[in-house]
Structure 1
């Protein structure tokens, strides 16, 4: 079985809620966080599948379309390609927050579905996020969970297995394991 690093998108890969960008609804809103290209390239080099699992309630709320989201993801992937970094697949939940769907994090469906498709050993894989729903989804899926960044945690009942200031710090730690 394969190993994977599952990544939340906003706040892990790209900026969100900053002076430069509030929400990522257009390709021009994509700004990679420092070190992300190098980190994802390191995961690629270590033989991990790299997946993005992201809640995109803006679709359900009418702020963007599936096509607009696809354009955002193409821009993100192009920006990452400049570092030699590759995302193997992207799963997203298009439903409104509190819609009760099965795919929205903190539920683990996006992670579990990707794991089944790509023959991923979840107990040897990682879910990386910057908010409690990301960590909860990873815990429920059976991954090792990694909290990164400095965003305020919403619920303080969810515990990550590891904590790092950013994705590159996690990648450097993983390279030493």
Structure 2
């Protein structure tokens, strides 16, 4: 009798866990916009690390090597995102998965806040600034978003704008908001 009860409890636990973690029931999985970067960072472990990219200098990249960006129209105190609607498609926010691992960044610089949009997801901040990926970065290590519209910049480990000029002059002339 005891074995049957334990088996029933184990089966119920497994079924409820599967139901809670399926993509159709996971608010983070359904809230994140489509982007060319691998979706591995949307669920599970989010890795943030420091990397020196020749075109922008020392910046923060995700675990796959894609640089992260900050938006001059956002604010750091308090953290506020002004990248909404169509902006999301080009600049997907970096979502806090609950398991953020940092490498080479002062832990005090990394935080998150709840986005004030319909998703109410928790977005990662560096130095208080909300951070994003750029859909135009087709490969790890690219920084095509640097200087876009004179408002998007790769983010340093302190939350500052990367000072290096854009990798190509065309990016600065592309007001991709």
TM-score, normalised by the number of residues in structure 1: 0.30
Q: When you count helix as a share of all residues, which structure comes out higher?
A: 1
Larger radius of gyration: 2
TM-score, normalised by the number of residues in structure 2: 0.30
